Structure 1
Amino acid sequence: MFKKLYLWTLSLAESRHAPFALGLVAFAESSFFPIPPDTILVPMSIARPNRALLYALICTIGSVTGGLLGYAIGALLFDTVGKWLISVYGYGDRVEQMRLLYAHWGWAVILIKGLTPIPFKIVTITSGLLAYSLPLFILLSIVTRAARFFFVAALLHRFGGTIHVLLEKYFGVFLAGLAAITVLGFWIVGHML
């Protein structure tokens, strides 16, 4: 069953619409969507390792622009959409703690959380809510998201063939691992800070 799913995923990754879907998922993940773009970035980079760095660039651009939507949700729509999204991810009662943390360490929060499995939308919405410097937010988002996506893409570009063979055998384990990382990110959000 997983082999068929893997082959289907690779065929989708080779579609001419795949880069658009990748950018869309990266955009949505940074503002409201729970699934990380890695779910598309990995198979696309395995299907076409020579394009892995281009795919990382698409993810970075999509994530940073989606982050601007998250920032706008926090800055302009916090009392409606923002409060609801923050509550869904477990930060509803921790806004004051985040305000204090951002006052001294906002740059570090953006950089560190942008690299971790913690949902980036928490960072983007909170940054807007707390009126964190927009130019600095954009710069830090570019740095942290590019580092994350280009690291993954460089690994896949370099070791794509080996990873492709391993994924053919262990695609179910890969999916379970990705799901575990996503759940871990949500758990961290709910229990940290």
Structure 2
Amino acid sequence: MFQDVLDFLMKFGPWGLFIHSFFDAVIFPIPAFFLQVSLSMLHPSTALWLATYGFIGCLLGTPIGYLIGKLLGKSVLYKILKKEWIDAATERFQKNGEAAILVGSFTPIPFKVFTILSGCLNFPLWRLMAYAAIGRATKFYVVGTLFYLYGNAAEGMVKNVSLYIFIIAVPLLLLGVYWNRRRKRKRNEVIQSETETEKPVLESKIPDQQTPSA
């Protein structure tokens, strides 16, 4: 059945990938990666345009998946996806939501798991959109660039593209997340320290209230 859906979407070219990517972030269990590869093999010269259609479709579908999680919770995930995928994604989210989204952009776990989980766990939507944009853009455009440069010879390269991106890009992205969080923590510590220093000074300037004599 899913192959029939993919064959149907292929007839629409870039718009088929746009639709697939949109629903990949919402409910469709087959990653848009497979349709992107199939279409890129047919027209390697348009591979970067295909990546753009897929990327935009994914971003537009992300808040819809978030809303589903917000309203329906994880029950909808258990009906359409493997329990181990959901449990693995939930564990990652509870440890570090930002890292989970970045890593989830490259793993075989369908991306909708992370959009819906974000809504379930009240993860800020703007942060989901930001990290989804980074992660999904990386994967879509790496695949698109390989086909654009190497044509159909890139088919063998993209089979392990998720692994390569995971090994190279994810550590760099996670390092950026760690550095940003550390910078914010230090800034908060400085603000707190300055507040504690100023507090005794302010208290010393307040005149003592003398109780009036009877």
Q: What TM-score do you get using the length of structure 2 for normalisation?
A: 0.62
- State the alpha-carbon separation in 1 of the partners of residues 93 and 152 from structure 2: 42
Deviation at 1:118, TM superposition (A): 1.1
Residues 92 and 54 (structure 1), Cα distance of their counterparts in 2 relative to 1, 3 Å cut: closer
- State the alpha-carbon separation in 2 of the partners of residues 152 and 93 from structure 1: 26
**2:108 matched residue in structure 1:** 117
Map 1:1-193; keep pairs closer than 5 Å: 13=10, 17-78=12-73, 82-86=74-78, 88-90=81-83, 94=87, 98=90, 101-163=92-154
The number of residues matched between the two structures is 152
More helix by proportion, 1 or 2? 1
Of 143-152 and 59-68, the range deviating more from structure 2: 59-68
Bigger radius of gyration among the two: 2
Relative contact order, higher structure (CA 8 A, sep 6+):
1
Residues 162 and 128 (structure 1), Cα distance of their counterparts in 2 relative to 1, 3 Å cut: same
Deviation at 1:154, TM superposition (A): 0.8
What's the Cα RMSD here? 3.0
Q: 1:71 is paired with a residue of what secondary structure?
A: helix
Q: What do the CA deviations read for 1:107-163 (whole angstroms, capped 9, x no partner)?
A: 000001111111111111100111111111101111101101111111111111434
Q: 1:115 is paired with a residue of what secondary structure?
A: coil
* Runs of 4+ deviating beyond 4 Å: 91-95
**Structure 1 segments unaligned to the other structure (5+ residues):** 1-8, 167-173, 179-193
- State the alpha-carbon separation in 1 of the partners of residues 85 and 136 from structure 2: 25
Q: Work out whether residues 29 and 110 of structure 2, in 8 Å CA contact, stay in contact via their aligned partners in 1.
A: yes
Q: Work out whether residues 86 and 122 of structure 1, in 8 Å CA contact, stay in contact via their aligned partners in 2.
A: no
- State the alpha-carbon separation in 1 of the partners of residues 143 and 55 from structure 2: 12
Q: Work out whether residues 25 and 37 of structure 1, in 8 Å CA contact, stay in contact via their aligned partners in 2.
A: yes
Deviation at 1:39, TM superposition (A): 2.2
Q: Work out whether residues 45 and 151 of structure 2, in 8 Å CA contact, stay in contact via their aligned partners in 1.
A: no
Q: Work out whether residues 25 and 58 of structure 2, in 8 Å CA contact, stay in contact via their aligned partners in 1.
A: yes
- State the alpha-carbon separation in 2 of the partners of residues 65 and 26 from structure 1: 9
Q: Work out whether residues 86 and 92 of structure 1, in 8 Å CA contact, stay in contact via their aligned partners in 2.
A: no
Q: What TM-score do you get using the length of structure 1 for normalisation?
A: 0.68
Q: What do the CA deviations read for 1:84-123 (whole angstroms, capped 9, x no partner)?
A: 323533169849x93x753541000000111111111111
